[in-house]
A and B are shown apart, each in its own frame.
Chain A
């Protein structure tokens, strides 16, 4: 067993365990804790996939941002101690059953696909096997620079190799801008929604 495999097992298990913890935990605060575990471990998996920037973003935004928001939410909406909003055991069993069936379905689907045959065909018509075509940061350095350039509309990771053959690949400048606006609108909207109650009261 290599280190890589070991690390993968650790991260995979903690990810799945965290997820199950979220499902099984009966209290919201604990669910949040298990979620942190799960998301954090996912970041570890990203590192193992050589996606260092994504992993960092995962930690910063998910663990550092979203989860903080969720915890704020938990605190702001905490019910009284006697209010029971627990799930009934029947539902849990039903959910578990359906979930298992879904899992088997997905796993069956994954298994039924020959991933090596998910090949690409170059512009010259050559057939290239899918295996080993992925992004290889070991040969190309870390991912921050190519990601940043891709978000600015440049694709050196694809175009530098054979510019005359491939032509220019599509960058992500436009989606990036859209997402920027989107975020802004979302923030405005969120703050508006959060304020609505007080305004309604003021108007009454």
Chain B
């Protein structure tokens, strides 16, 4: 299978992640959208690694992305916990104290 097939998969993952972020009211769901977006990007990196002169660098970058995603997840989770403690809900629509 060629590069474009993988890119299509990556695009689907990305768009799903964006839509997920845009629609989910649950904070955890929002996080999952972020994971999907990152994963879409990773698919692209690895595909470029395989099919273009990017070479091994693509895999290394995807490894970094995975690691950072894990870190992000940890921090985001603690934020979500704090949010929950403060608002007694995980509904992100309630966190609009900074609205203009």
Contact = CB atoms under 8 A, between A and B. Distances in A.
A and B touch in the complex (CB under 8 A): yes
Contacts of B52: 115, 118, 130, 133-134
Interface bin, chain B: 35 or more
Contacts of B80: 73, 77
Nearest to A192: B78
Nearest to B84: A77
Contact of B22 (A77, A95, A157): A95
Contact of B35 (A66, A128, A193): A66
Which of A91, A95, A147, A151 has the most CB atoms of chain B within a 10 A radius of its CB?
A: A95
B58 to A, nearest CB: 8
Nearest to B19: A99
A interface, over-half SS: helix
A72 B67 contact: no
B84 A31 contact: no
Interface bin, chain A: 35 or more
Given A115-B52, A179-B68, A22 B90 contact: no
Contact of B9 (A15, A22, A32, A74): A15
Interface string B28-72: 110111011001001100111111111110111011101111111
B8 A110 contact: yes
Nearest to B69: A66
Contact of A133 (B5, B43, B53): B53
Contact of B66 (A61, A72, A151, A175): A61
A20 B29 contact: no
Nearest to A196: B82
A160 interface: no
A57 B66 contact: yes
Contacts, number: 250
Given A22-B36, A115-B52, A197-B85, A150 B78 contact: no
Contact of B29 (A31, A66, A134, A190): A31
A166 interface: no
Nearest to A99: B19
B54 A134 contact: yes
A19 B25 CA distance: 17
Contacts of A191: 78
Given A22-B20, A98-B19, A134-B51, A65 B70 contact: yes
A69 interface: yes
Contact of A87 (B12, B17, B23): B23
A107 B12 CA distance: 9
B32 A35 contact: yes
Contact of A62 (B35, B59, B89, B91): B35
Interface in A15-39: 15-16, 19-20, 22-23, 28, 31-32, 35, 38-39
A54 to B, nearest CB: 5
A66 B73 contact: yes
A23 B23 contact: yes
